[in-house]
Structure 1
């Protein structure tokens, strides 16, 4: 059932969409709009407002906003608003009405409303944070952890001041001597730490240690079990976790991810929906260019227009990737695949241009549309190369925890083209893993924009 808070949030968002459309109308047309423009703008805005109610609800925009990190909330609202606009744009394509909508007004409207929606979330978070902070005095915290992990907790605490926690002392049982500074007492002696906790009005004891420290954990819990102190356990799994070792709810019980996909099922579903809409629009817009390229490939040398090759996708599933053929037809040994090199005689003149400008990759939007690939993700390699690099490159296999992409973080950072040395492939994999750990819709948009700006010509593509 829709509660009052949820209703108010929906009313606010719809109002911001309407206000953004009105402001964009004034910026674009002023008092000199052509006849009939106001009616078109009104109908387009009304459709988007109605569509937003369905799309925002489907993507759970209004659920648990207070408990999510601010960056996640802002990224989600921007992603879902853009999805709403893309869906509306796709509908106008299908009914052949795009010529009636001012592109400049639509762009202004999208950007203004995106900023307004983000600002509303930011303002709400600031107000709620101050209200929570005003209701409760800061809780003093004593932390038991190794120095590096302890410093991480303190930084997180300082970055989340609205939580109301304040570190006053620490214990590193493996430190060689006791350290002090003006703000935080750092102990190496357990008895001195225990005494300081009891005399220092400490309200929280955080145990942030690996599971191998179970005897110390047990002894500290027993020591303070009769004190009015909240004792919390933050298991240090940094030496085991490949990705973010955060706590998740699994079958109603808390679990810690050690080696698992860092993207949640909801994030993967959102990414997949965006990919398919983006691919459909890209194929519609780029179809004239792709027809010209297909004719050029066909006339440049005998053979098919498209080149297909078996690649691995998400979870290692094999699919056939589509590219415009850039090489002349040639035979190769079974199970052996030779990468293209500089001045490779197999590359045709048309193919050389297509490879330099990445235009040979355009048919991969078909792979995205049918669900084999993503717009942004780790680039897939030939299966023959996978078999080799998996044995010599650290964490290579984890690239396949999500769908491979047409472009990726590694490609815009220079790791493109021939991988003639293991070090090059290791650098590519390191960038792919960075992308997995730090994925967001904003990062995807940054990569797409950088690909358009940088990818039209690249020195490593040949």
Structure 2
């Protein structure tokens, strides 16, 4: 699991204004060039269309946090969000053309050329500028001086990350620890400058731009002392999370009246993110249902012809926030267990029909759940829903088990594409599934969902422990 922890708010990109300006100019310029080259005109109507595109793109780009700092983030993720923002921009453009009845005024060739060229150039200039920035940072320019307080495991991990990735522009200037030089490993001595008092002094003198505090969270008095002393400086201060903060789930600041609060366990599905996730689910489920409609009819007929009982099996599960929902599956067993004691399917299970065994191995029995997605009870990507009896069993044995219900259950998920699907005959197996589920919730993004969908297509439909 290599995603960034989803706990820290995104950094502001120092080039954000320039990025916005380039995007706005590029969208208008591509439209103007396409118009002039093909129909030899670029009038106010075309300009207004470009202006609508500008405003819409900036809105969706802000929604996707496209203008945040990408110093230490994936290029593929940045390009994905740039493309996604432009694709979303097309919807208000088409709505405008439809309701103003001006679709015939605008050349389809011009619009097609414009849409394709903007998609390519939005990505191309970002790739080029990123490479220029990385080259500058490797040569020691556009860097920020970094100090780390506390050579704990988290502090050492950060040190290694910075040293191994000079393209991020972070440059280790100093390491601080209350232990003396005789207790510090030799490879850190070149950067070792002393204890916390020395860190504060260097920050006050402006020799450090960013200071990371890697002290254990249990050392509250020491951390408070450092933060109080650093309040007399202009250094940027970050605290490296340890196991305590790692277990926070989308922690954020809040208010109740004049009282400030911090949420410990929260869902990422708030505001714009909830809208983005729902749009993703609707578009994916409609597209997939259109493709699988005929195969579903064939499967339904095969079930009816090969065994007695209904085609669709409905079972109670926990959904978002632990609320009970009914999920749909193609019936794969001779029984329809939905009570307080449900036995998981095992190898050679006599309850499974011959056709059902094939459906379960290939996950084809779960295709009707795309209807659950359209209804809003499930998501395409999310933690897999467990039978209620299994929930009640494992919530007593596995820490943080119920936090997986901070998102809608999914047809596929991060645990499934990493091999943790099918029978969970031991607590250890279920713990691993929950570990991956919570990792997904902490690090949720549209890009993460996109990767899981791709992995599902490539490797997620079969499994050696699925019976």
User: TM-score, structure 2 length as denominator?
Assistant: 0.71
Instruction: Please tell me the root mean square deviation across aligned C-alpha atoms, in Å.
Output: 5.0
Question: Separation in 2 of the partners of 1:362 and 1:420?
Answer: 25
**Cα deviation per residue 1:400-423 (whole Å; 9 max; x = unaligned)?**
121111111222222222211212
Residue 267 (structure 1) aligned with residue 273 (structure 2): yes
Counterpart-to-counterpart distance in 2, 1:445 and 1:333: 33
1:278 match? 284
1:298 aligns with 2:299: no
The 5-angstrom pairing of residues 408-423 of structure 1 reads 408-423=413-428
Match of residue 323 from structure 1: 329
> Which of 120, 123, 127 is the equivalent residue of 1:122?
127
Partner of 1:381: 386
Q: Does 1:289 align with 2:290?
A: no
Match of 2:84 in 1: 79
> How far off its partner does 1:166 sit?
3.5
Summarize the alignment of residues 428-439 of structure 1 with structure 2, pairs less than 5 Å apart: 428-439=433-444
- Give the CA deviation at 1:424: 1.6
Change (3 A) 1:132 1:344: closer
In structure 2, what is the equivalent of residue 166 of structure 1?
171
Write the distance in 2 (CA, Å) between the matches of 1:408 and 1:436: 10
Deviation per CA, 1:418-442: give whole Å up to 9, x if none.
Answer: 2112122122222222323343433
Structure 2 residue aligned with 1:312, among 306, 309, 318?
Answer: 318
2: CA distance, partners of 1:206 / 1:370: 48
Structure 1 residues 75 and 221: alpha-carbon distance in aligned structure 2, compared to 1, 3 A threshold: same
Distance 2:78 2:270 in 1: 15
* Count of residue pairs brought into register by the alignment: 422
Taking the aligned partners of 2:259 and 2:209, their CA distance within structure 1 comes to 24
Q: Deviations over 1:58-112 (max 9, x none)?
A: 52448874434354643422333455689999xxxxxxxxxxxxxxxxx999998
Counterparts of 1:384 and 1:269 in 2: how far apart (Å)?
Answer: 32
Shift of 1:210: 4.8
The Cα shift of 1:178 comes to: 4.9
Report what 1:27 is aligned to.
Answer: none
Q: 1:177 to 1:342 in 2, by over 3 A?
A: closer
SS in 2 for 1:347: coil
Match of 1:9 in 2: 23
Is the 8 Å Cα contact of residues 359 and 365 (structure 2) preserved in structure 1? yes
How far apart, in 1, do the equivalents of 2:282 and 2:50 lie?
A: 22
Answer whether contact 2:137 2:166 (CA < 8 A) is retained. no
Match among 349, 354, 370 for residue 349 of structure 1: 354
Once the two structures are overlaid, the 10-residue window that deviates more, 339-348 or 120-129, is 120-129
**Per the alignment, in what secondary structure is the counterpart of residue 293 of structure 1?**
helix
1:242 is matched with 246
Shift of 1:282: 1.3
Q: Which runs of 5+ in 1 are unaligned?
A: 21-37, 39-45, 90-106
* 211-220 or 317-326, larger mean C-alpha shift: 211-220
Give me the TM-score of the superposition, normalised by structure 1.
Answer: 0.72
Q: Once the 2 structures are TM-superposed, how far is the Cα of residue 294 of structure 1 from its aligned partner? A: 1.5
